[in-house]
A and B are shown apart, each in its own frame.
Chain A
Amino acid sequence: MFRLALAYLRDRSLTTALNILLLGISVAMLVLLVQFGNQLSSRLDRDAQGVDLVVGAKGSPLQLILSSIFHIDQPTGNIPLESLNMLRRDPAVKAAIPLALGDNFDGYRIVGTDASYAAFYDGEIAQGKMFEKPMDAVLGAAVAKTTGAQLGQQFIGSHGLETEEGDGQGHDHAPFETVGILAPTGTVIDRLILTSVESVWDVHGIEHDHDEHEDHEKAGHDHDHDGGHDHDTDDETLSARGGLQPELTAILVSYRNAAGAIRIPAMINRQTEMQAATPAVETARLLALFGAGIEGARIFAWILAATGGLAIFIALLNMARAREGDLALLRVMGASKVQVFGTILLEGLITATAGAVLGIATAHAALFVATRSFQTLSDLGLSATLFLPAELGIFAAVLLIGIIAALIPAARIFRINLANTLARTS
């Protein structure tokens, strides 16, 4: 009977293809929405986990979060180096991690920070060692995999978040050297290149003394540069002497206790030239922004799926009417009512299964293409190979639609008066 159902579907292949397509489009939309919503939300949660506050230059708090935690936007500006010490001295602060941003290599952001940043995301060294001296670089797992970089390899950063051909902003006077590669963590640091804050200053010709930096474990020493290379001055300020001051882009803060959550953001926002943004709030705002759109699209997709079900219903109903003689002949040939009923039901089920499989495959193929075509999606960590339990739910729901759509046409077989039908059609 399965072969017969397939034969009937093949017999009206255009209608079958259209029905499969209708269901396929709706399933693809639903899967993409589920994937996007789920992966985005879990990615945001994972990347922001443990970061209670981000302190950065005034501007859009969402931009500050996007640039400092998720590394998918430009920074809002720079903040004084002293702010790091100020935060670290605060008893309510458990950890304050400095970030100095501005450059990238091959599209992967170079982050000037300290070793605690990798530890914050449970980043472990897979090869080599953690950066120690300026221009040492540790590559995230995805960076190493994509670029094929090995230990000891040197590379030159470019200004900005993305590298463009011939942008002429390469810092070729100050190459980084790969000293370590991190094990995969499934977080944002997989796609980052970590180095010391001093490296970022050095690359941009910013005079600094390690005494200025909070990390007094290292011996203070000066890095003198000629300052003659090209660099953007967006994220560096000129001192009164005309030189560039060592600054930070942002500081990731985690509180020691709940009191910090009440006092520190208010203090930063009111008493300094900086802003404090709470990742939980901004992430929720971001998801709410996406959420309305996602919900609308989800409703549309289910309407489309219902339309697909209706199309199957109409096709099968018309078929059952047009095929009354055939169905009667099957009965005469010895098929039971249940067998003929099952054949029609199978047609609905096969159509729905094909639509669901097509939709899921299309959605994952689209994710695959999209993550390779759009850097932002790739940066968000969207994976084409991750299958979610919700997809199984969509699959089952679409099969149910197929069965329900086929039920009424199939049930006609129980109402057919065989003798009358044969008298009319034979």
Chain B
Amino acid sequence: MLLEIENLDYNINEKPLFSGFKLSIEEQNHHLLTGPSGSGKTTLIHLICGLLSPEKGAIRVAGHDMAAISESGRDKIRREHIGIVFQTLRLVSALDLSANLLLAQRLSRGTTDAPLIASLLERLGIAHRAKAKPHQLSQGEAQRAAIARALVTRPRLLIADEPTSALDEANAGQVADLLLECAADYGVTLLIATHDDRLTPLFPNRIALTEHMLKAA
């Protein structure tokens, strides 16, 4: 099991957001995480990534319980197993695309793999933008660059938080297709948090969070 959540309790402002929440995702079994704003999609992602600690329960990523280890331990699990794509926060602003990918590799693995970077950029159709700074990229290019940044460390789980919400129809379709294709190519499991209905037909599995319901669908 790649991701396993058991009896998760998490409160925000002393009000329960998750109570006894359960979830399990196997390798190569992609999921959409849906729900209206405020339903806890982003919080759940942060809990899975180890950016938040639950009040109770276990969050196992590749067998490691994120809830039971120190912050630096969570940093390590995240570094080694998880790639994250955000809606707008995509790349380190001061570095060009290629340098961003090199930095991501160095931080994650301590080494760099230039051929992998080149092939990923080629695969995502942004090889010609390798030397562009983040602010020079279009929305679609930037989101593809963010996917490249997340994949370049060869994670087992790629979590994307609203990856297509800021994109137009054409770019949203392209990014979703690329996510699925790359996941297949690089053996990555996807967990996509979104309220973008355009993605629903592309993913067979869906975890629906309902506001104040606090339970997985």
Contact = CB atoms under 8 A, between A and B. Distances in A.
Interface of A: 3-4, 7-8, 10-11, 323, 325-326, 328-336, 339, 418-419, 422-423, 425-426
Interface string B43-85: 1001001011000000000000000000010010011000010
B86 interface: yes
B104 interface: yes
Contact of B46 (A3, A335, A339, A422): A422
Contact of A335 (B42, B107, B161): B107
Q: Which of A4, A330, A339 has the most CB of B within 10 A?
A: A4
B92 A426 contact: no
A192 B12 CA distance: 86
Nearest to A339: B107
Interface stretch (B14-22, B93-101, B167-175, B202-210): B93-101
A332 B91 CA distance: 11
Contacts of B87: 426
Given A332-B78, A333-B107, A418-B51, A426 B161 contact: yes
Given A418-B46, A426-B86, A426-B88, 8 more contacts: A7-B99, A10-B94, A323-B93, A326-B94, A329-B86, A330-B107, A419-B43, A422-B42
Given A333-B149, A418-B51, A11 B72 contact: no
A11 to B, nearest CB: 4
A332 B84 contact: yes
26 contacts: A3-B99, A4-B95, A7-B95, A7-B99, A8-B94, A10-B94, A11-B93, A323-B93, A325-B89, A326-B93, A330-B107, A332-B84, A333-B79, A333-B92, A333-B103, A333-B107, A333-B108, A334-B104, A334-B153, A336-B75, A418-B46, A425-B89, A426-B86, A426-B87, A426-B88, A426-B161
Contacts, number: 67
A419 B52 contact: yes
Nearest to A328: B89
A419 B107 CA distance: 20
B90 to A, nearest CB: 8
A326 B107 CA distance: 14
Nearest to A323: B93
A336 B103 contact: no
A423 B42 contact: yes
Interface in B18-49: 42-43, 46, 49
A333 B46 contact: no
Pairs of residues from A and B, 5 with the lowest C-beta to C-beta distance, nearest first: A334-B79, A426-B86, A11-B94, A334-B107, A426-B89
Contacts of B153: 334
Contacts of B75: 331, 334, 336
Interface residues of B, number: 28
Contact of A332 (B49, B72, B88, B103): B49
Contacts of A329: 86, 89, 91-92
Given A326-B92, A326-B93, A332-B49, A422 B86 contact: yes
A226 B153 CA distance: 98
A409 to B, nearest CB: 15
Nearest to B93: A326
Contacts of B95: 4, 7
B108 A332 contact: no
Interface string B138-159: 0000000000010001000000
Contacts of A3: 99
Greatest chain A CB density within 10 A among B89, B93, B94, B153 is at: B94
Contacts of A330: 92, 107
Contacts of B49: 332
A369 to B, nearest CB: 37
A389 to B, nearest CB: 37
Contacts of A325: 89
A418 B84 CA distance: 14
Contact of A419 (B51, B86, B104): B51
Nearest to B78: A334
A82 B52 CA distance: 99
Contact of B89 (A334, A336, A422): A422
A4 B107 CA distance: 12
A329 B103 CA distance: 12
B195 to A, nearest CB: 15
Contacts of A419: 43, 46, 51-52
A323 B93 CA distance: 8
Contacts of A4: 92, 94-95, 103
Contacts of A331: 75
A8 B92 CA distance: 10
Nearest to B87: A426
A414 to B, nearest CB: 11
Contacts of B93: 11, 323, 326
Nearest to B71: A337
Given A330-B92, A425-B89, A336 B149 contact: no
B43 to A, nearest CB: 8
B50 to A, nearest CB: 9
A75 to B, nearest CB: 65
Contacts of B94: 4, 7-8, 10-11, 326
A325 B134 CA distance: 13
A418 B153 CA distance: 21
B200 to A, nearest CB: 22
